[in-house]
Amino acid sequence: MEILTITTQPFSDQRPGTSGLRKKVRIFQAPHYLENFVQSIFDTQTDLKGGVLVLGGDGRYYNRQAIQIIIRMAAANGVAKVIVGQGGLLSTPAASCLIRKYQTNGGIILSASHNPGGPDGDFGIKFNTANGGPAPEGVTEAIFAHTRKITEYRTLAFDAIDLDTIGSLSLGQTGVEVIDPVADYAALMEDLFDFDRIRQLFDSGLFSMRFDAMHAITGPYAKRILEEMLGAEPGTVINGDPKEDFGGGHPDPNLVHAHEVVTLTSGRNAVDFAAASDGDGDRNMILGRNFFVTPSDSLAVMAANAHHIKGYAGGINGVARSMPTSQAVDRVAEELGLDCYETPTGWKFFGNLLDAKRITLCGEESFGTGSDHVREKDGLWAVLFWLNLLAVRKMSVKEIVQEHWWRFGRNFYTRYDYEGIDTEAANGLMTHLQARLADLPGTTLDGYIVDYADNFAYTDPVDGSVSKNQGVRIGFTDGSRIVYRLSGTGTAGATLRVYLEAYESDTEKQGRKTAEVMHPLVEIAIGIAEIVSRTGRKEPTVIT
């Protein structure tokens, strides 16, 4: 079988962001673009030669074609075996599960997560290392550096292989194993959670739920686990068939984009529990009857109740959250005597802490929670955690969260997203904020006294690596916070995220509306950053 060496030239825009390389589909379809990045993975990650690679994606447009390209390149670069999900499908947490279970040398995951799909949508690729987690910055920087000097890539002259039939085949000296994308992940979930108790919950006839897969990757996983293994009624999973364009929707599990399932939690026939996941299955939204659980609260409730869950009944090592995530879990950790870490945004920062067994649970405010079972955030895992908790506690979602607030206090929390703004304007706004930081401590802003103002920097307690400029923080003496970040997950323009948090220990005041509590902080945040004048946006794109 002939190995072809193709001459190419570097592209200047292949630096991975917080979740890999993401661009518009048409950019990845350009001659040599995908191939350059993939060859840079093989050239820098030398363990892949003679090793085993996991490969799959979320099924978005261009996924199948990209899978075929990568398999041919893997064979040409001496990979001994490629494990690929049937149809080219693998959720991101399932890919991490496979890497860890079969002790492979890494994995390539094709996804743009919660970004829209289709011919005019987004596409993405990232490399996960042998621990199952996203490549750390040292690896991504090495890959990027190689993309800047690449002159050739290697591939095979070979027709497309059959991705739809489970089984093994050969491509030259490389074995290709097409596997059931759900089976290994489902087995792991059954080990972690008390499926018998959850079955009893569904069998009682007193409990109803809906899971919105948003026409994304978790549809087959949720149908297998929720409806087939746990006995939820048929139709519990809605929008369960993965589509290349996510059915024309935006596969982001928040109150705006997952409005269909949100409406099912209110009214006379409201369900007791609802959830949604995103494009690649690593995010989650949790809802009760007429009740939304913020991702920050969800992580805190999990930490406080982990002892009720089979896989965590022996205790947890510690917890971690990304810096913009609310400090709700910090209060749990303090009371329970657990170590608590604050990291930059990006799941890769949790990897060292998990591998060193310093933490068991971790989460980000952007609808991501997870544990040491894999090295990715995991949307369906979070849903099963909540189902298991509901089955054990025999309380509603609202009752569990309110009880948590009464015990630990409530961290009111909201996020304003300004999507697709001019990149130069966004950078100018952050530069403006940075210039003001030194003068802010001790000043009063509309009655709030500034305690600290900085640009968050993180020193990894395991390997000592330092990550600077991870987001501007303005903290007030009453525990309130404002955080500004430019997101690394978009593909067009810049996304400015503004995070706001306020703490309330008085149980009589914990039932106030979030918008009411946050209004003064919102006004401060918009004013001090000059958002309207600098971006031209009078309103955010999304409020969560």
The correct CATH number of 185-408 out of 3.40.50.300, 3.40.50.670, 3.30.1360.20, 3.40.120.10 is 3.40.120.10
Angle between helices 33-44 and 63-76 (to 10 degrees): 40
Residue type, 383: V
- Domain spanning 410-543 has what CATH number? 3.30.310.50
Whether 480 is catalytic is: no
Could you report the per-residue pLDDT of 313-361, keeping only the tens digit for each? 999 999 999 999 999 999 999 999 999 999 999 888 999 999 999 999 9
Kindly state the tokens that stand for 207.
């409990």
Which of 331, 367, 327, 383 is CA-nearest to residue 497? 367
Q: Say how far residue 537 (Cα) sits from the centre of its chain.
A: 27
Residues of the chain with CATH 3.40.120.10: 3-180, 185-408
Quote the pLDDT of residue 490: 53
CA dihedral (420, 426, 427, 432) in degrees, to 10, reads -170
Could you report the per-residue pLDDT of 295-320, keeping only the tens digit for each? 999 999 999 999 999 999 999 999 99
Angle between helices 397-408 and 295-305 (to 10 degrees): 80
Q: Which residues pair with 276 in a beta bridge?
A: 212, 285
Cβ neighbours for 56, distance < 8 A, ≥ 6 positions apart: 67, 84, 85, 88, 89, 90, 94, 95, 107, 109, 110, 181
Total H helices, total E strands in the chain: 17, 27
> What pTM did the predictor assign?
0.94
Could you report the per-residue pLDDT of 464-483, keeping only the tens digit for each? 999 999 999 999 999 999 99
Which of 266, 320, 293, 270 is CA-nearest to residue 403? 293
At the fourth CATH level, the homologous superfamily of domain 3-180 is: Alpha-D-Glucose-1,6-Bisphosphate, subunit A, domain 3 (3.40.120.10)
Over 80: is that where the pLDDT of 492 sits? no
Q: What are phi and psi of 371, to 5 degrees?
A: -150, -170
Q: What are phi and psi of 294, to 5 degrees?
A: -65, 150
Could you report the per-residue pLDDT of 360-378, keeping only the tens digit for each? 999 999 899 999 999 999 9
Residue type, 189: M
CB 143 within 8 A of CB 91: no
Which of 58, 40, 32 is CA-nearest to residue 121? 58
**Residue in the structure block whose two tokens are 């297998």:** 224
| Set 91, 96, 113, 326: catalytic member | 113
